[in-house]
Amino acid sequence: MTGTAALAERTYQLLLSVRFWRGAVATIVFIVLWEIAARAGISRVPAPSAVVVTFNDLMRDPSYWFSWYLSTRRVFAGFLIAMLVGIPLGLAMAVSRAFYGVVFPVFEVLRPIPPLAWVPAAIIFWPTQELSIMFVTFLGAFYTIVINVIGGAQTIDLRYYQAARSMGSSGWDVFRRIILPGTVPSIVVGATVGIGIAWAVVVAAEMISGGGSAGSMGGAKGGGLGFFIWNSYVGGSYTQIVVGMISIGVAGYISSAALRKLGEMVTPWLREQ
Amino acid sequence: MKNLEPSLAAADANVAVRDDAIAVVAQTSDRPSRLEAASYRLGQWLRSPRPYLMLIGFALFLGFWYLTVEVWKLPRFSQMPGPTAVISEWLSPDPTYGLSLYSPEYYQHIWVSLRRVSIAFLLATATGVPLGLFLGWSQRFKDYVFPVFELLRPIPPLAWVPLAIIMFQGSETPIVFLTFLASFYATTLNTMLGVESIDVSFVRAAYCLGAKRQQVFRHVIVPGAMPFIFTGLQISVGVAWFSLVAGEMVSGQYGLGYLINTSYTMVQYPTMVIGMITLGVVGYVTSAGVRIVGNYLMQWRARELAMGGDK
Amino acid sequence: MRRPSKGEIRIANVVKIYGSEEVGIRAVDDCTFDVPAGKITVVVGPSGCGKTTLLNAIAGFHSITSGTIHLDDLMLCGPGRAQADPGPDRIVVFQNGALFPWKTIVENVAFGPIVQGRLPRKEAFDKARRMLAESGLHNLESNYPGEISSGMRRRVEIARALMNDPKVLLLDEPYRALDSLTKSVMHEALLEVFDRNQVTIFFITHDLEEAIFLGHRVVIMTTRPCRPKKILTVDIPHPRDYSVLTAKRFREYLDETVEAVHEEALKAFAAGERER
């Protein structure tokens, strides 16, 4: 079957399945209840119908999309640096007992401090607010990536090492061909979770730090999605808050899904037969 | 070749459970007493290179901090408080900024944060564990409920801050709600995965032996998912602190997050660092607490791991 | 001394296809044979040939596509009823063991009668202790399965099954993961248990020597899709012990069957069967 035909077939099968409809029904019920609660004035929650209207308006507003851009940039910058620093660090810790013994205790002591607690310190330290927000998203992803890399290297079956050594591989060879590929699945897991955490962090960091210097460029709606939500709250447009929340949810979901797909492509040997 | 020996990490990963395991085993049979086992382990630890490497690590870290901030006074670093400033403030009976180990305010902040986390965590556990168990056990229930759950999950708890403030009265409830949300998701998900990870042979064996559906749930699913549930609870505590801090920094009074934010705005930087460190310590202690409770409730697992986990 | 229980299984024209008719995997094809009551029937065949599918069908874990399976007068599965209900008349002992790790040994063994409501707790525990004592395992009763060796776990699992007076014991390569020294002890233990209880045993393995040593009847299956290729009646009287292995009759049976098994193993190898 060609690509589109296969997609059509799968969609058709999906629409036939009981399970899909159960989920759909529950979701519709949920939205309806939400609408009713909002109209009844329970706890001032904005109604889904109003949210949709606002969403329509915002779609045409370039500063909204600029917020998307800002947040995405901050998340990915922090995330990439976390990968660049975290993966080698994790591997070094997994491979060398001495290095692990020196670095891991300090790492474990710093880890329970939530990344957001670093926001004020980061603002003091880094010259621009942009950098301080990126630092915090870096922290968010960094811990998870390192922990997953170490965990992944630990689970590599000792027999793979032994097999390679008995076939005459040098230390570097073993590292390149056994440890590295063996750790890749864990790196993928760490990355997928880490980017989720980075999104969670960026939202709060933007709220706390007031959107960064770029915020003034974008006007009231610029400054990143977190800032957008906070500003909407301050400005009293509650429907915009909900739009902002959903936007972040979507953004986070897309990034995680994209990373997972990337991960699957990079690890063909894990595919089920 | 040194590099190929199982790393310290591998040993450390199990040490936490194994330590508690040895404690449990020692307690319940005529094997070496707890004290004997503990002093043996301490002796072993002191003889290994580990404590010394750890000291080197901390020394390097503190040294770096001290040198960059107080000695060399590097450009950006000099604005940060140095370790001596922080420690002297922390330990001083008459602190410059009014907060130290001796001031009751300090403990007030800790208590407020702890109280919020505990309430949120307990609520999240009470709702998340049963929900997770049902999601894992009944495909039908999962079909209805899971899509809505998954739809809401990508929204970071922290994005709920303004909505929570709008929806709930007062300043305490929104913060507790946020913390609860984050914890709730982590617990439910891990519990559900725990149920789904139970080896199907156990379920089949129970049916073979004549158990009915509710009995299988009670005797196989619930105990079988426990290890996963507790791992989830440890994660859940961590996530709770994460969200609590955000909530406290944005709104509310008292609490460690609030302390950090306020000391920053009032340019009381050593106090800010004290707050950060305290957060780390308290977070670690609560996580360890959950782990210890788990090991106590699951003696079978503790003993299994103590035996080397023979499969 | 217990009377031999009934427990004859009749498998007739059973077909099992995973997936759809055209493109599915045909695991079992027109398989017919009997498992006589009160005897040990061993099913041998190359890996992946479908023997476990048959066992799962009898136990009620999988459905069948067509054919019938009867246990005495009861139709377990057949037309109108694709899947049997699992129950204590046919108890499975699993390959990797399924003792509940979170219950002690005695709690495990007493599980069946308690959960069926047949015995109150105290009596169930007493009976469990007696059964464990019979197999010499009574000093393990307060341990957890994670604390004892795999061999002992298997024996406990069998005791747990027998507590329920099953008609049939279904064993799915239970000794596969054990070393050969432990295995030989397990074989003798199993035969001892059989002599006491005379329950029907349906045993799957791919170890031919194990099959001939244990079985009254050995059914050799073809490679996938499986059906009986050859059925052998082993005429060595029970009770048997290890001296049987070197007996002439044993060697003769082995000669008779080794070629048949080898032929199927080669076919399976050529077809690239993945080791399960």
| Beta-carbon separation of B304 and C147 below 8 A | yes
Contacts of B146 in chain A (CB under 8 A): 23
* Residues A86 and A142 sit within 8 Å (Cβ to Cβ): yes
**What class, spelled out in words, does domain A51-267 have in CATH?**
mainly alpha
Instruction: Look at residue B98 and tell me if it is in a domain.
Output: no
**The domain that contains B265 carries what CATH number?**
1.10.3720.10
Q: Which helix (H) or strand (E) holds C28?
A: strand C25-35
DSSP summary character for residue B75 = T
Q: Two tokens at C8?
A: 């004859």
Decide: residue A229, CB within 10 A, 0-12 exposed, 13-18 middle, 19+ buried: buried
pLDDT beneath 70, residues of chain C: 1-5, 21-22, 272-276
In B, residues 208-247, which contact C (CB 8 Å cutoff)? Answer: 208-212, 215, 219-220, 223-224, 226
Per-residue pLDDT averaged across A11-24, rounded? 78
Q: Domain map of chain A by residue range?
A: 1-45, 51-267
The C-alpha of B173 sits at a distance from chain A's nearest C-alpha, in angstroms, of 13
Contacts of C111 in chain B (CB under 8 A): 206, 209, 211, 219
Neighbouring CB atoms inside 10 A of A103's CB total 22
A109: left (phi over 0), alpha (psi -120 to 50) or beta: alpha
| Beta-carbon separation of A23 and B9 below 8 A | no
Please check whether residues B29 and B72 belong to one and the same domain: yes
* Residues A137 and A79 sit within 8 Å (Cβ to Cβ): yes
Q: What is the pLDDT of residues B280-294, one digit of tens each?
A: 889 989 988 998 888
Contacts of B22 in chain C (CB under 8 A): none
Nearest to A248 by CA among A88, A93, A126, A74: A74
Instruction: Look at residue B96 and tell me if it is in a domain.
Output: no
Q: Domain end: C113, C147, C165, which one?
A: C165
- Residue B135: predicted pLDDT: 92
- The interface predicted TM-score (ipTM) is 0.87
pLDDT of B310 higher than 60: no
> What residues make up the domain containing B289?
104-306
Q: What is the pLDDT of residues C185-205, one digit of tens each?
A: 888 888 888 888 888 999 998
Please check whether residues C83 and C194 belong to one and the same domain: yes
Percent of chain B surpassing pLDDT 70 = 86
* Residues B242 and B182 sit within 8 Å (Cβ to Cβ): yes
Selecting from B201, B205, B304 the residue whose C-beta is nearest the C-beta of C144 gives: B304
Biggest CA–CA distance in chain C, Å, is: 56
pLDDT of A200 higher than 70: yes
Name the phi and psi angles at C205, rounded to 5.
-155, 170
Name the phi and psi angles at A172, rounded to 5.
-65, -40
| Beta-carbon separation of B283 and A113 below 8 A | yes
Residues pairing with C12 in the sheet: C68
Please check whether residues C85 and C207 belong to one and the same domain: yes
| Beta-carbon separation of B303 and C144 below 8 A | yes
| Beta-carbon separation of A233 and B166 below 8 A | yes
DSSP summary character for residue C87 = B
Please check whether residues C204 and C272 belong to one and the same domain: yes
Instruction: Look at residue C21 and tell me if it is in a domain.
Output: yes
Instruction: Look at residue C94 and tell me if it is in a domain.
Output: no
Please check whether residues C276 and C182 belong to one and the same domain: yes
Dist. CA C186–CA C217, nearest whole Å: 19
| Beta-carbon separation of A200 and B157 below 8 A | yes
Q: What is the pLDDT of residues A96-147, one digit of tens each?
A: 888 888 888 888 888 888 898 898 888 888 888 888 889 999 998 999 899 8
Please check whether residues B157 and B284 belong to one and the same domain: yes
Give the CA dihedral C77, C80, C82, C85, nearest 10 degrees. -60
| Beta-carbon separation of C98 and B226 below 8 A | no
| Of the listed ranges A75-89, B167-181, B210-224, the one predicted with least confidence | B167-181
> Is B257 an interface residue toward A (CB < 8 Å)?
yes
Q: What is the pLDDT of residues B102-138, one digit of tens each?
A: 788 888 889 999 999 999 999 999 999 999 999 999 8
Selecting from B205, B211, B303 the residue whose C-beta is nearest the C-beta of C94 gives: B205
Q: What is the pLDDT of residues B65-109, one digit of tens each?
A: 888 887 777 777 777 888 888 888 888 877 777 777 878 888 888
Supply the pTM of this predicted model. 0.80
Per-residue pLDDT averaged across B166-170, rounded? 81
Q: Two tokens at A60?
A: 């045409």
Long-range contacts of B13-22 (CB under 8 A, 24+ apart): B13/A151, B13/A154, B14/B305, B16/B291, B17/B291, B17/B295, B17/B301, B17/B302, B17/B305, B18/B305, B18/B306, B20/B291, B20/B292, B20/B295, B20/B296, B20/B302, B21/B295, B21/B302, B21/B303, B21/B305, B21/B306, B22/B306
pLDDT of A157 higher than 70: no
Please check whether residues B76 and B148 belong to one and the same domain: no
**The domain that contains C54 carries what CATH number?**
3.40.50.300
Biggest CA–CA distance in chain A, Å, is: 75
* Number of domains observed in the structure of chain C: 2
Helices assigned H by DSSP within chain A = 3-16, 18-39, 48-59, 62-95, 97-110, 119-125, 129-154, 158-166, 171-174, 180-209, 213-218, 225-235, 238-266
> Is A176 an interface residue toward B (CB < 8 Å)?
no
- Residue B15: predicted pLDDT: 52
Half-sphere exposure (CA, 13 Å, Cβ side) for C136?
A: 5
